[in-house]
Amino acid sequence: MLKKILIANRGEIAVRVMRACQELDIPCVAVYSEVDKDALFVKYANEAYSIGPARASESYLNIEKIINTALKSGADAIHPGYGFLAENAEFAAATKAAGIKFIGPSSNVMALMGDKVAARGVMAKAGVPVVPGTEKCVTDPDHALKTASKIGYPVIIKPSGGGGGIGMTVVPDEKRLVEALEITQKIAANTFGIGDVYIEKYLTNPRHIEFQILADSHGNAIHLGERECSVQRRHQKLIEESPSPVVTQEKRNRMGDLVVGAVKSAGYECAGTVEFLYSEGEFYFLEVNARIQVEHPVTEMVTGVDIVKEQIRIASGLPLSVTQKQIQMRGSAIECRINAEDPLNDFAPTPGRLKEYHSPGGTGVRVDSGVYAGFTVPPHYDPMISKLICWGRDRDEAINRVCRALYEYVITGVKTNIPFHRAVMKNRRFVKGNIDTHFIEEETGLIEDIKALSGKGQILADKLHHRSDLKARVAAIAASVVYQQMQTTKS
């Protein structure tokens, strides 16, 4: 087993990884920027090192600083979390070159998955359905026109070096194609350093469904079923769930087997996600995410597998602790990303000091966070406060439990998107599972519902027996009283 792990990340995911280390009895090392010196992940770690100013490029993205800190602390592995350097092939290579184990796929496989056209090729060769489109990058306008008319409009032009939706252009008809091609190539060159683009058929109202996979160094690979992540806004996911309301066991087995075959053929090792668009009963491969994902807990709650622990086992050279046959999805889990943002002001970030903070608990409730009462959410990074994940025997029970947990959740001092989540949990389309990637923009009524839920009578608007007085809420009072007592004793 690995002996000491440095976590090259911050916030809730740093805490999440350290919790796995704690269970495995592996000491862990935090690295933090100036503004994170009081963060929970710094307190949780066995050792912590300051690595520079708030600006990520000088701290959490500083490869040399992080690797030197790992060497100095005697860590024999680095876990990159998500975002920052998690899918940076150069970082994976530099880590290996320093004699440190990178907890993730090899830099070669990571680079292969980062090349979206190459990844499409790997999947297609393994029999995974891909979106109709080009097998190579498109440079020549005539070639682009020919290809697009063969595919049929609308089409979408995507940067090959990109991902996550940045720099993509939808083209409604041939009149717009050449101009769109030039623009997308320019954006691609500017943002990703590679001007290569490819063309796909544009699917108008798809669902976003992704498969979680695990692969070890002994040739074992399994899938942990799918997550539905259609409730998103500007490529920012807000609610994720497992299983997807539309995936049958038969479809899951078929797609899961294909995906496992594909990652094996690519020599993929560690945890990963294979993303699909799902439209009219069919899956279309999009891209591979070569990292642990924000939404991994919904999969953990329905399968019982600790994905981060498996990552650490795999990086230690151990085999997976479970076989495909042992994997069963039980019940339903829903995750709400609780963000410091104002849903009534175009979801603008609202960083600042959390005056009171009390998270929900009880049966079927999991909260992953990196905050505490009195903590200041810094303005320099993603404004996520926590992830609320609820499990139920079926989807209806999970939804009801999310409502109950949101009722208990007390966060004061900053505006949060909790009213948004409460509105979605009561939305007819969401409750029916009738969602796609345009759900938020199409459900214009959500804004009115959020307004109604944001006012003083917010709790009464929901259920009559819910107490509207903040101070009277059972969970809240314990937390705020204890916190205020602490403040009084201090001064």
- Residue positions annotated with a catalytic role: 291
Binds ligand MV4 by CB under 6 A, chosen from 69, 232, 289, 416: 232
| 109 binds ligand MV4 per the rule CB under 6 A | no
User: Burial of 54 by CB count in 10 Å (0-12 exposed, 13-18 middle, 19+ buried)?
Assistant: middle
Per-residue interface string for the shown chain with ligand MV4, residues 272-301, x marking contact by CB under 6 A: -----x--------xx--------------
Q: What is the three-class DSSP state of 13?
A: helix
Q: Compute the distance between CA of residue 281 and CA of residue 25 in angstroms, rounded to an integer.
A: 45
Contact window for ligand MV4 (CB under 6 A) among 178-186, 194-202, 410-418, 440-448: 194-202
| 353 binds ligand MV4 per the rule CB under 6 A | no
The footprint of ligand MV4 on residues 437-466 (CB under 6 A) is: 437
Binds ligand MV4 by CB under 6 A, chosen from 74, 127, 165, 319: 165
Binds ligand MV4 by CB under 6 A, chosen from 91, 202, 276, 391: 202
φ, ψ of residue 464 to 5 degrees: the values are -60, -35
Q: Compute the distance between CA of residue 358 and CA of residue 119 in angstroms, rounded to an integer.
A: 43
159 close to 191: Cβ distance less than 8 angstroms = yes
Q: Across 290-441, where does the E strand assignment appear?
A: 332-339, 341-342, 348-349, 352-353, 356-358, 365-369, 376-377, 384-392, 410-412
29 close to 6: Cβ distance less than 8 angstroms = yes
**Considering the complex, what minimum distance in angstroms separates the CB of residue 437 from ligand MV4?**
4
**Whose Cβ is closer to ligand MV4: residue 207's or residue 473's?**
207
**What ranges in 154-295 are assigned the alpha helix state H?**
177-192, 249-265
Helices (H) and strands (E) in the chain, counts: 17, 22
Contact window for ligand MV4 (CB under 6 A) among 138-146, 200-208, 288-296, 416-424: 200-208
| 200 binds ligand MV4 per the rule CB under 6 A | yes
The footprint of ligand MV4 on residues 121-160 (CB under 6 A) is: 131, 156
CA 75 to chain centroid, in Å, comes to 26
Q: Across 38-196, where does the E strand assignment appear?
A: 47-52, 77-79, 101-102, 155-159, 169-171
| 233 binds ligand MV4 per the rule CB under 6 A | no
**Residue with smallest beta-carbon separation from ligand MV4:** 165
| 201 binds ligand MV4 per the rule CB under 6 A | yes
The residues binding ligand MV4 (CB under 6 A) are 131, 156, 164-165, 200-203, 206, 208, 232, 235, 277, 286-287, 437
